[in-house]
Chains A and B, each alone.
Chain A
Amino acid sequence: AQSVTQPDIHITVSEGASLELRCNYSYGATPYLFWYVQSPGQGLQLLLKYFSGDTLVQGIKGFEAEFKRSQSSFNLRKPSVHWSDAAEYFCAVAGTSGTYKYIFGTGTRLKVLA
């Protein structure tokens, strides 16, 4: 069955420190992979996506993610975290058949210390 696992429920980092959020997926074929961010009381905003090609993808707000097929992972990274990055981050996988049934992980809540 298709699934997405985000092993870290909460992560706390200091402002200016680097960040890595983990995501592992289970999918029978090559999936589409996404990272979304959700601020309190808001909808989800797309940070970046991977469909094919270069396994290191760049997104908005200085985020990047690396697709590693051998590890079934799609970890999100940022070299220097800003206080405004505090939010909940969701990894998602979607099929390549054109449907929009995204499967989301349970999320990682990021806290940034000043």
Chain B
Amino acid sequence: DAGVTQSPTHLIKTRGQQVTLRCSPISGHKSVSWYQQVLGQGPQFIFQYYEKEERGRGNFPDRFSARQFPNYSSELNVNALLLGDSALYLCASSLPGQGALNEKLFFGSGTQLSVL
């Protein structure tokens, strides 16, 4: 089975532009989470979506938004890009409701966003 896939793998934008990142979860997984990983730091939680509804939001400005589609894929949108938005954006999928022992995140390889 395919793992979590993200596209594009790399992206270069300029300040003020808008960007859309895409994520396809593992087949059968209904929850998608987004994380931002700035160079030299651990991943920071941005959003979690489950069954197309937002279940959690991290401490990020309203320039960040996301949605989940009926096929459980997801998009992360960032408007009015700032230099500080340069980071690796990770998507993770999971299968909630299967009991504590099965709760874990499966991460994609990420989209490296550079804002110039």
Tell me, yes or no, whether A42 is within 8 Å of chain B by CB.
yes
Total residues of chain A contacting the partner, CB 8 A: 27
Min CB distance A65 to B, Å, is 14
Contact: B56 with A44, CB < 8 Å? no
Contact: A51 with B105, CB < 8 Å? no
Total residues of chain B contacting the partner, CB 8 A: 29
In whole angstroms, how far apart are the Cα atoms of A104 and B90 in the complex? 13
Could you say which residues of chain B place their CB within 8 Å of the CB of A99?
48, 55-56
Q: Which residue of B has the minimal Cβ distance to A91?
A: B42
Tell me, yes or no, whether B73 is within 8 Å of chain A by CB.
no
Chain A, residues 34-58, CB within 8 Å of chain B (1/0): the string is 1010000111111001011000000
Q: Which residue of B has the minimal Cβ distance to A44?
A: B107
Contact: A100 with B94, CB < 8 Å? yes
**Can you list 26 A-B contacts (CB < 8 A)?**
A34-B104, A41-B109, A42-B110, A43-B4, A43-B90, A43-B108, A43-B109, A43-B110, A44-B90, A44-B105, A46-B104, A46-B105, A49-B104, A90-B43, A96-B100, A98-B96, A98-B103, A100-B31, A100-B92, A100-B94, A101-B33, A101-B45, A102-B33, A102-B105, A104-B42, A107-B42
Q: Which residues of A contact B (CB under 8 A)?
A: 4, 32, 34, 36, 41-46, 49, 51-52, 90, 92, 94, 96, 98-107
